[in-house]
A and B are shown apart, each in its own frame.
Chain A
Amino acid sequence: MQRPAEVISGAHRGEGTAPGAARAITVALAGAPNVGKSSVFNPLTGLSQHVGNWPGKTVEQKAGACQRRGRTFEIVDLPGAYSLTANSPEEQVTREYILLHRPDVVAVIVNAANLERTLYLVAELLELPVPIVVGVNMMDVAESNGVQVEVDVLQAALGVPVVGMVASRNEGPGELLDAVARVADGAASYAPQRPELGVALEALIGRVEALIGDAAPAPYPRRWLTQKLLEGDREVAELLRGRLRASRWAALDAVLRQNEDAVLAIASARYAWIGRMARAATRRPRVGAISLTERVDRVATHPIAGPLVLLGLLGLTFWTVYRLSEPLVALLQAALGLAGDWTRGALAGTPWLGGLLADGVLGGVGTVLSVLPMLALFFAVIAILEDVGYLARGAFVADRFMHRLGLHGKSFLPLFLGFGCNVPAVLGTRILESKRDRLLTTLLVPLVPCTGRLAVLVFMTGALFGSRGPLVTLGLLALSLAVIGLSGALLNRLLFGGESSSFIMELPLYHLPNWRTILLHTWQHLVAFVERAGTTILLLSLTIWALATLPGGGIEHSYLAALGRWLAPLGGLMGLEWRPMVALLASIVAKEQSIATLAVLTAGTEGSLATALPALLTPAAGLAFLVVQILFVPCVATITAVRQETGSWRWTAFSIGFQAVIAFGLGILVYQAARLLGLG
């Protein structure tokens, strides 16, 4: 069997298939956002999933394989797309995959509770020369909203196999694959209806098709290209401009310019056609019932109650995460301490090796790994909020505030994700459609206090300020939120002249979360984090240990100390001596590393780091240290992500420089202010 990754990255399906065996069926899973596509994909493919990026696009690519009735299905999960016009990278990826890779069957998922709108993609796919099977998901949600979908009627109307599903209860995905196999084998009756667009539009389409003539490039159907041209699709226009004679293109362009309103007519005609299908296939026994969604939204999107709900949920999220992870974290740290002592004891004969393993390896990676329980809970809670349908409401509520920063309400999602980890947050900016929104959000995300920083924050405020620790933590969090707000407004004015972005998004119906999807999501993100922690952070931990040990003669004479002392003038302004400065430098590689570094640097002193800290930092210096800690470059992984999402080293350098100025500037300010207040 092929590795799922090769299903996509390989030049063409079918290559490398074992001869003799029944060929694997390639299935592309398509659908609009919020149709529950991942709850179809996840139970089918489970842990065989491979998650990556679409080549050249910042869109997540998921593929996996599964067996059913002795057949192998290679399933590619296409990103959520409302249409096949290139309005967003998701829509580009979807149509490119379907047209260029030609899966055996496209399985389109629609939402029974939103049949009309989600059938729009089906209407577009029916124009393509690829067999399709339709899965009507969320039959249960529809029924609780008083809508019954008659699958047989829809099947007769569309002329393609239609399967009813409740994927959240794992009802239907199997049957969907059976239908896919029947279509792939040619065993099912397959007579797709093409959407009727009306006489006037058909005449116009005929006219444009005649002008395109035989210039349509190979995999693209001429009729489809024609519709996209009339819908004003720039990508298709460029494609054809390059292939048509200049005079022919001029004629075509003139017709298109005369028919600029065709885009409205085509969408209207498709929806009119869909409306007839949907009306025939739905029954509404309970008309006018006030839905659960409506009742919840009266509170969740209320101008006053909405923000309170959002803040409440945020608070609850953090409380849950810390409360539940605390005992686990304590346990892990105790175990690591014991392991370190044991290692040192067992290797008493060769102290350098004992030091390397206990201080370098266990001290570094161990600290990071102890963040894992917190991270797992974070990913899970966010996945639940998203699956239930709340995150979109959060974006709506947040839009009023985000708008002031020149940001899209959706920017709230990546910024919120940033509290878990900046890396997925930077990667999450791809949900934003405009390049400008993505860039601005990408520049702000690294200022969000992530769990790594929060862990350091909670640990150090506890050690330095005792019972007033939580208060200091909250104050610093408030400071970082204020900095994010001001930076947003500032960057928007400086870089984009203060214009604001467009906000239009669907609010899905609330429904029960699918635990399997949430667990899988959490697991995938955890694995990704461990992979990162296991490589870059171990390496840094060893480097720091080496820098702190070499060239010998104690840590006071190490290379690291030399670097720290060289930065002493800057540190002096913040009341920081060379060791905290070194810890801040080390935290560029991974934020959690500042504690690990301090642990390594103070390993010579008696007792744990928590008791050593107050001797190292005065309260004012501690505050300054934490301000820099919370605002300075989060980690190399985030830098890598910023580089990847902006596609430019210049923006990456700008991002780092911006954070350095803010972090050290505010650090100095806070230290001097705190000293004036007598905290020195």
Chain B
Amino acid sequence: MISQQMEEYLEAIGKLQERGQPVTTSALARECGVAAPTVTEMLHRLAGQGLIDYTPRREIALTEAGRSLSSTVIRRHRLWERFLHDVLGLGWDRVHDEACQLEHATSPDLERRLARALGNAATCPHGHAIPAADAGAASTATSLLSDLTPPASARIVSVSEEAPLLRRLAALKLRPGAVVQVTANSPDEGTVTLSTAGVQHTLAHGEAARIAVAPLSAAEERAEQALPLAELAPGATARICGFRAGRGLVGRCLALGFTPGAEVRMVQNAGQGPVIVIVRETRVALGRGEAGRILVSREGEDHAEAG
């Protein structure tokens, strides 16, 4: 019989592995917030059930059965977090504790229905991947924000689930998916300076160490190097990569064919006043202000149209 406590340990081991951290007794003790001897005792029980390979003072590994169980618990935990956050509107700093209770009381059928109702969501609100029902946790090539050497751009993949940190990050709009530019990183001073969406923030080194980031994809890299359409020279061709505009203008642009990936050619740009571009074989006149709010990238030749 697998107890709730045993599930907690399997979950913790799975999470440590996911982060690429060594699974040791002391790491587990930190993760579960208990003393090392307590961990050792539990590890013996788990090994006895054939869920882990455990040799004292060596790294702990999950067996096939252990991995499956661990990923199921993690999956249920993160599905609940998504549900609590998306459907019930709980703050992302509160969902972890609630999900810790609910994950153990979830039947396979409930788990399936939950996943379906959430449209098979891919991540939890903190950005951690929800393992697929029949596989181990997917590991992505990530590094820690605190390890980046400036200047560097990266996208936040996931953040550690500690309520105070989550509250602080939410206030700074540093959520999974956000692109950040690290401008300074000084372990001596214990700070990491970064900017996101044009706003600069300073994080404690310890906070940055709890944020996992991934390098930008080629497309994101280009978006980072985007220039406003208004700065495109006459005769030049580029691809739309985004907008810096409100819903209304974006809607009008989209309907006229200015969609991400679409090619635009600058026909007339006198350096002041409105411009004329060709998009989808239509000549469109844009005010200079509007043309400044459409972002294009010139190195877009290999960027296939979305869809």
Residues of A within 8 A of B (CB): 82-83, 85, 87, 113-117, 120, 197-198, 203-204, 206-207, 210-211, 231-232, 234, 247, 250-251, 254-255, 258, 263-265, 267-269, 271-273, 275, 293, 297, 301, 303, 392, 395-396, 399-400, 403, 408-409, 433, 500-509
With contacts A297-B268, A301-B276, A400-B272 known, what are 10 further pairs, Cβ within 8 A? A117-B256, A117-B257, A232-B250, A267-B255, A268-B305, A268-B307, A409-B287, A500-B287, A503-B285, A504-B290
Q: Take A116-B280, A265-B306, A503-B274 as given contacts and tell me if A251 and B119 are in contact as well, using a CB distance cutoff of 8 Å.
A: no
Considering only CB atoms, which chain B residue lies closest to A392 in the complex? B285
B80 to A: closest C-beta gap in Å: 14
The reply on B273 being an interface residue by CB < 8 A is yes
Q: Is the CB of A272 within 8 A of B306?
A: yes
Q: A272-B306, A272-B307 are in contact. Are A255 and B281 (CB under 8 A)?
A: no
Please give, as numbers and ranges, the residues of chain A lying within 8 Å of B262 by CB-CB distance: 268, 271
Cβ proximity bits B225-258 to A, threshold 8 Å, 1 near / 0 not: 0000000000000000011000111111111110
Contact partners of A269 in chain B: CB under 8 A: 306-307
Is chain A's interface secondary structure helix, strand, loop, or mixed overall? helix
Which chain A residues border B287 with CB–CB below 8 Å? 399, 403, 408-409, 500-504
Chain-A contact segment, one of B84-92, B129-137, B139-147, B211-219 = B84-92
Bound complex: CA A87 to CA B89 (Å): 29
Chain B residues with CB under 8 A of A408: 287
Docked complex Cα distance between A251 and B82 (Å) = 11
| Interface CB pairs A-B, < 8 A, 15 | A85-B251, A114-B282, A116-B281, A198-B307, A232-B250, A247-B89, A251-B88, A254-B87, A264-B254, A268-B261, A272-B305, A301-B276, A403-B287, A504-B256, A504-B290
B-chain residues with CB within 8 Å of residue A258 when the two chains form the complex: 86
Contact residues in A for B261 (Cβ distance below 8 Å): 268
Nearest CB in chain A: distance from B295 CB, A? 12
Does B45 sit at the interface, judged by CB under 8 A? Answer: no
Asked if B283 and A506 make an inter-chain contact with CB atoms under 8 angstroms apart, the answer reads yes
Q: B285's contact among A207, A271, A395, A433, by CB below 8 Å, is which?
A: A395
A501 CA to B248 CA, complexed, in Å: 12
Q: Contact between A117 and B281 (Cβ–Cβ < 8 Å)?
A: yes
A507 touches B88 (CB 8 A): no
B119 and A254 contacting across the interface, CB-CB below 8 Å: no
The CB with the most chain B CB atoms within 10 A, among A82, A265, A293, A502, is that of A502
Question: Once the chains are docked, how many angstroms separate the CA of A207 from the CA of B85?
Answer: 15
Instruction: Choose from A231, A267, A268, A506 the contact partner of B284 (Cβ within 8 Å).
Output: A506
Q: Which residues of B contact A85 (CB under 8 A)?
A: 251, 255
Q: In residues 151-167 of chain B, which contact A (Cβ within 8 Å)? A: none
Determine the distance from Cα of A267 to Cα of B252 in the docked complex, in whole angstroms: 11
Beta-carbon contact of B252 and A399 below 8 Å: no
| Contact yes or no, A254 B257, CB < 8 A | no
Q: Which residue of B lies closest to A88 (CB)?
A: B252
Query: What A residues does B254 contact at CB under 8 A?
Result: 83, 263-264, 267
CB of B172 within 8 Å of the partner chain:
no
Q: Mark B272-306, 1 if CB is under 8 A from A, else 0.
A: 11101000111111110110000000000000011
| Cβ contact within 8 Å between A504 and B306 | no
Chain B, residue nearest A113 (CB): B281
The reply to whether B285 and A505 contact each other, CB–CB distance below 8 Å, is yes
| CB proximity of A413 to chain B, nearest CB, Å | 13
What is the CB-to-nearest-CB distance from B56 to chain A, in angstroms, rounded to a whole number? 45
Residues of chain A lying within 8 A (CB to CB) of residue B138? none
B285 in contact with A87 (CB, 8 Å)? no
Check B120 for interface membership: any CB of A closer than 8 A: yes
Q: Chain A: which residue is nearest B247 at the CB level?
A: A232
Is B259 a contact of A271 with CB atoms below 8 Å? Answer: yes
Do A250 and B255 touch across chains, with their CB atoms under 8 A apart?
no
Q: Provide the residues of chain A in CB contact with B42, threshold 8 Å.
A: none
What residue in chain B is nearest A271 (Cβ atoms)? B259
- Which residues of chain B are within 8 angstroms of A272 by Cβ–Cβ distance? 305-307
Select B274's contact among A113, A255, A396, A508, beta carbons within 8 Å: A396
Residues of A within 8 A of B253 (CB): 504
Name the residue of chain B whose CB is nearest to the CB of A275. Answer: B305
